[in-house]
Structure 1
Amino acid sequence: MSDVYSYPASMRRLVNELSKLPSIGLKSAVRLAHALIEPSNSAAEELAGAIVNARKSLRYCEECFSLTESALCSVCEDDARSRATICVVEKPSDLISIERSGDYNGLYHVLHGLWSPMRGVEPSAVRINELAARLEKLGCVEEVILATSTTVEGDATAMYIANMLKDQDVRVTRLAQGLPMGGELEYADELTLSHALAGRQAID
């Protein structure tokens, strides 16, 4: 690979910013940068416009904290969705993955992170307290499905929430262990998620 530090300053800045994106290493950032600055490629302007538009238009749902362009997301606005079940996920992309399975018709709650004492991330830094407040507000939730990733932090977050809810009249379940250990929910296929939902187990 060409030495990135031999590029002009503007190119180095572009590569540096691209490499900050999730799953984008230096080599991938260099390839993307070259593609974006190609004079015959109009993708750069279109991409820049899409990013600006998304940042202006998107917000978090006032109920579940998923992405939306209005006060409530399409799931929370849907009266046909069951209010008896809330599925707790780490990020909006996890919600999309579960929706693609076609086997869940309840509500969601997006944490936007995981509890991680080792990294200094307290429960208040993710939306765990908001989950407790939401359960009290709804007053009709019978089951909370913990669909965090099968990582150390995902498991710790699930156990923290389960302990928080142990004295409440609500069933707390965890997705079945069909998901690969250390795997993130958004990368699981629809069939795996379908089986994990169907085989979810209660947390005592």
Structure 2
Amino acid sequence: MTPALETLQKQLKQLPGIGYRSAERIALHLLVEKPGRLPELVMALQSAAQNVRRCTVCGNLAEQEHCAVCADERRRTGQVCVVEYVPDLAAIERSGAFRGRYHVLHGKLSPIRGVAPEDLNLAALLQRIESGEITEVILALSNDVEGEATCHYLTERLPKTGVKVTRIGFGLPSGGGVLYADAVTLKSALEARRDYT
């Protein structure tokens, strides 16, 4: 293996979801099997690095000052769904179930990993709420200790009147059975139950 190939493989391996073998396959694919794709990939990476930034309103990815969601006047401005990361926002958008706006925290509180409130996009959310435009905050954070701590922190700092705070339901996945669910999932499913009639 050449030093340049080894460096490329090490860089690829640092990406999420790519292990040693995958990094090796990608590097060899780009250098040996499809070398014509390499310049296009480099250009796309450079273009994204230069043009993509955070939306000044919600923290989503954007190429302008505002992301496509914040710029869409057909969205419900009073509802804001708070998510941890941009991929969470993308997943909710793919579902087609939400037509409001978003706010991306870019993480969750984690004293163990050294993530404090000032490390997250919390101040901008509180500023949006204080402006009076938001009537409901939907907390769509993960169902773990850090997600719960972040939800608790947020609710403690929200105005006590005028803003409805809700939390997404958690439970069994579609097609999943009770037998194979873990205790936390079953507890959440029972707590998030609703009328069947």
TM class by smaller structure: 0.7 to 0.9
Q: Alpha-carbon deviations, 1:52-111, whole Å to 9, x = none?
A: 011111111110111111111111111211111100011112111111111111110011
Name the structure 1 match of 2:124: 130
Does residue 27 (structure 1) correspond to residue 21 (structure 2)? The answer is yes
Misfit runs of 4+, over 3 Å: none
8 Å CA contact retained: 1:67, 1:73: yes
8 Å CA contact retained: 2:128, 2:134: no
Does residue 154 (structure 1) correspond to residue 147 (structure 2)? The answer is yes
8 Å CA contact retained: 1:173, 1:200: no
Unaligned ranges ≥5, structure 2: 174-188
Letter in structure 2 aligned against 1:162? T
8 Å CA contact retained: 1:84, 1:141: yes
Name the structure 2 match of 1:169: 162
8 Å CA contact retained: 1:87, 1:146: yes
Q: Alpha-carbon deviations, 1:131-189, whole Å to 9, x = none?
A: 1011112x031110111122332222122212222624311111101377xxxxxxxxx
Letter in structure 1 aligned against 2:72? D
TM-score by length of 2: 0.82
Does residue 45 (structure 1) correspond to residue 44 (structure 2)? The answer is no
CA distance in 2, matches of 1:129, 1:83: 18
Letter in structure 2 aligned against 1:24? I
Deviates more, 1:35-44 or 1:48-57: 35-44
Higher RCO (CA 8 Å, separation ≥ 6 residues): 1
Question: Against the structure 1 CA distance between its residues 56 and 179, is the aligned structure 2 distance closer, same or farther, given a 3 Å change threshold?
Answer: farther
CA distance in 2, matches of 1:26, 1:43: 21
8 Å CA contact retained: 2:140, 2:167: yes
Paired residue total: 177
Alignment of 1:10-159 (within 5 A): 10-38=4-32, 40-137=34-131, 139-159=132-152
8 Å CA contact retained: 2:54, 2:61: yes
CA-based RMSD of the aligned residues comes to 2.1
Unaligned ranges ≥5, structure 1: 1-6, 181-195
TM-score by length of 1: 0.80
CA distance in 2, matches of 1:23, 1:200: 34
CA distance in 1, matches of 2:20, 2:144: 26
Question: Against the structure 1 CA distance between its residues 169 and 34, is the aligned structure 2 distance closer, same or farther, given a 3 Å change threshold?
Answer: same
Letter in structure 2 aligned against 1:80? R
Aligned-pair identity (%) = 42
Shift of 1:200: 9.7
